[in-house]
């Protein structure tokens, strides 16, 4: 891939291993408040239920259909209620402890640091994320990612959520990228990262380890971060 000067990365599920880090925190909380013992709900069942509601709410958040507080509180409220656990204190414990401890987790997607070391002196690097501002900086610092990036663009601060082209255009302008075609977006969400970036004129690489929804032809699809190094050579 030639003439690339600026690379923009999504953070969650692309570099920072959101699933693994979240699962570790949820399992700790599940054990601490004895959900299995008190309600006969296994962690695997709770985790699957949480993932379903969390995914739905994040998609709604990207479309401005729900608020930040809706995501934080209701992903646990809806999950617990589906499992017949109606307890505001438990809901609040999950919501508060999950947000406080998960950003401290350090698990990264396989190949993240190797890719960062390869691109750090070759391109201007930035993050574009829909995540919440008070935790995204902590994630990056704790996991060792902060040092690689010149800019971090968080939807909550910019005022636009991916996939709006406006957040990508803002990121390009602020990072000094004068030509959109010289910019590359790398992310795991087809709608938010890839199609949003393309609408803004960027090139895009879709990190798609499960080979799902890969029917478009105007971007490159990879299954792992290590493949991106080969594409950039």
- pLDDT given for residue 216 in this prediction: 63
Nearest Cα residue to 80 out of 102, 98, 67: 98
Are 128 and 61 part of one and the same domain?
Answer: no
45 inside domain? yes
Q: Are 37 and 166 in contact (CB under 8 A)?
A: no
Q: Which of 104, 125, 147 is the last residue of a domain?
A: 104
CATH code of 161's domain? 3.40.50.1000
Q: Which of 53, 78, 104 is the last residue of a domain?
A: 104
Opening angle at CA 39, ends 36 and 42, nearest 5: 35
Are 59 and 99 part of one and the same domain?
Answer: yes
The string of DSSP letters for 67-135 reads: -HHHHHHHHHHHHHHHTT---HHHHHHHHHHHHHHGGG---B-TTHHHHHHHHTTTSEEEEEE-S-HHH
Are 114 and 221 part of one and the same domain?
Answer: yes
Range of the domain at 28: 18-104
Are 46 and 65 part of one and the same domain?
Answer: yes
Predicted structure pTM score? 0.92
Q: Are 173 and 143 in contact (CB under 8 A)?
A: no
Are 77 and 187 part of one and the same domain?
Answer: no
Are 137 and 62 part of one and the same domain?
Answer: no
* Tokens describing residue 92: 């609040």
Which tens digits make up the pLDDT trace of 65-111? Answer: 999 999 999 999 999 999 999 999 999 999 999 999 999 999 999 99
Are 126 and 47 part of one and the same domain?
Answer: no
Are 66 and 129 part of one and the same domain?
Answer: no
**Structural domains in the chain (count):** 2
Are 12 and 57 part of one and the same domain?
Answer: no
212 inside domain? yes
* Tokens describing residue 57: 């709410």
Beta bridge partners of 212: none
Measured between alpha carbons, how far is 181 from 173 in angstroms, rounded to an integer? 13
Q: What share of the chain has pLDDT > 70, as a percent? A: 98
Q: Is the pLDDT of residue 217 over 80?
A: no
207 inside domain? yes
Q: Are 34 and 150 in contact (CB under 8 A)?
A: no
1 inside domain? no
Cα 18 from chain centroid (whole Å): 7
CATH code of 84's domain? 1.10.150.240
Nearest Cα residue to 63 out of 159, 158, 163: 163
Q: Which of 104, 130, 146 is the last residue of a domain?
A: 104
Q: Is the pLDDT of residue 214 over 80?
A: no
Which tens digits make up the pLDDT trace of 40-68? Answer: 999 999 999 999 999 999 999 988 899 99
Are 91 and 126 part of one and the same domain?
Answer: no
Q: Is the dihedral of CA 46, 52, 55, 59 positive or negative?
A: negative
* Tokens describing residue 42: 């296994």
H or E element, residue 194? none
- pLDDT given for residue 225 in this prediction: 97
């Amino acid at each position: 891939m030639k003439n690339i000067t600026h690379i923009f990365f999504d953070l969650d599920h692309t570099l920072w291993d959101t699933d693994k880090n979240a699962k570790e925190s949820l399992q700790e909380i599940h054990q601490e408040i004895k959900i299995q013992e008190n309600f006969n709900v296994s962690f695997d069942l709770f985790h699957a239920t949480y993932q379903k509601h969390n995914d739905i709410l994040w998609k709604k958040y990207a479309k401005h259909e729900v608020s930040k507080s809706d995501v934080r509180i209701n992903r646990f409220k809806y999950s617990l209620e589906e499992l017949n656990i109606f307890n505001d204190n438990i809901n609040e414990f999950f919501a508060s402890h999950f947000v406080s401890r998960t950003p401290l987790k350090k698990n990264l997607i396989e190949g993240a640091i190797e890719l960062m070391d390869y691109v750090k002196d070759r391109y201007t690097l930035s993050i574009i994320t829909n995540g919440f501002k008070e935790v995204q900086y902590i994630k990056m610092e704790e996991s060792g990612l902060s040092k690689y990036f010149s800019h971090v663009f968080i939807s909550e601060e910019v005022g636009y959520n991916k996939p709006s082209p406006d957040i990508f255009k803002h990121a390009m302008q602020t990072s000094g990228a004068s030509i959109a075609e010289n910019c590359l977006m790398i992310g795991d969400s087809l709608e938010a990262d890839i199609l949003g970036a393309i609408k803004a004129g960027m090139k895009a690489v879709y990190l798609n380890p499960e080979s799902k929804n890969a029917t478009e032809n105007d971007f490159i699809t990879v299954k792992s971060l290590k493949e991106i190094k080969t594409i950039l050579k």
